[in-house]
Structure 1
Amino acid sequence: MIHSLFALLLAMAQPAAAAAAPELTAPTFNHAQTQFTLRCGGCHGVTGRSPPSQVPNLRGSAGYFLCTPESREYLIRLPNVSKTQLSDADLAEVMNYVAFGLGEGKTPKGAKPFTGEEIHRLRKTPLTGANLKQERDKVVRKLVRSCGAPKDLLLYGKR
């Protein structure tokens, strides 16, 4: 009798508790967002936000890198980008999400999306650790000077 009374009370309580709890839904990602989250989100954050002195923040700034041919190439020649196991077409899709999506309108007018052919050509010559920091500093200084990029892009690697 006590067992069935407990079962009845439990059954009556569940609908009330379920009605009070908000329905939770998981976000839906497209293919590029999924690949970014899996391959880049651990360091850059799944929303592209990261501590800029430790890892370049992408949200609101990645689009600036399509301002010059050198900075555009730099994005693809980064070792973790150029050596990823994605196909050229998939990497183009991810990098377009980074530049046009995470870039939040900072991509220059008229900037063209990356293509698989462009990715294929650029990833053949990845940057190495020896010249990576110097190359980034050169590229970012030009973005700040010529493209209106914020000076906080220069914070990467500085504590």
Structure 2
Amino acid sequence: MAVKPWLWLALGAIAAAPAIAGDNYATERNAVTLSPAQTQFILRCGGCHGTLGVSPPRSVPSLRGVAGWFLCTPEGREYVIRLPNVSRAQFDDATLAQVMNFVTFDLGERSAPPAAARFTQAEVAAIRARPLNALPLRQFRRKVVTGLVRRCHAPASMLDYDRRG
């Protein structure tokens, strides 16, 4: 296939354009660099949960400032990995552990218990082998979150997602 003459002209013009000294250097030098876990969260989860972990009320649960509460109980810890869109995510176990650590510790801010352990590849592999496929998800979430509110003093507002308005 022959290259169109106009393409050669355009490429030549780009190549001949003088580089501007320092062009965009300061901006690029100060740009935020995202970790692989942050990048994957934004690409795979941010559309629903919001890129900053804040989602529309009652649409999907917000994660900002609350996701760490799930690490307070073994049921909550397993719940966040067993969620269908988490357990079936197209990540290997190590990447999923990194993303969930970002969600629970970084987006969760100070909501994670001080002694909470980070997710490991082995733990994620074991938990995601039992996804929440066959039960009513809203009811199961309500049960888990009610336990977090009672046993860990998580904010009762975490139950608001489950209420129909």
Q: Shorter-chain-normalised TM-score: which range?
A: 0.7 to 0.9
Give aligned pairs, total: 139
Q: Which amino acid aligns with 2:67?
A: A
**Alignment partners' CA distance in 1, 2:38 and 2:126:** 23
**Residue 50 of structure 1 is aligned with which of 27, 52, 55?**
55
Structure 2 unaligned blocks of 5 or more: 1-22
Q: 2:150 matched to 1:145?
A: yes
Q: Note closer, same or farther for the CA distance 1:112–1:104 as it changes in structure 2 (3 Å cut).
A: same
- Cα deviation, residue 157, structure 1: 3.3
Q: Note closer, same or farther for the CA distance 1:67–1:133 as it changes in structure 2 (3 Å cut).
A: same
Q: Indicate the RMSD between aligned Cα atoms, in angstroms.
A: 1.7
TM value normalised by structure 2: 0.79
**Residue 129 of structure 2 is aligned with which of 124, 130, 152?**
124
Structure 1 unaligned blocks of 5 or more: 1-17
Q: Deviations over 1:49-99 (max 9, x none)?
A: 012311100000000000000000000000000000100000000000000
TM value normalised by structure 1: 0.82
| Mapping 1:47-86, distance limit 5 Å | 47-86=52-91
User: Residues 68 and 104 of structure 2 are in contact (CA less than 8 Å); yes or no, is this contact kept in structure 1?
Assistant: yes
Q: Which amino acid aligns with 1:123?
A: R
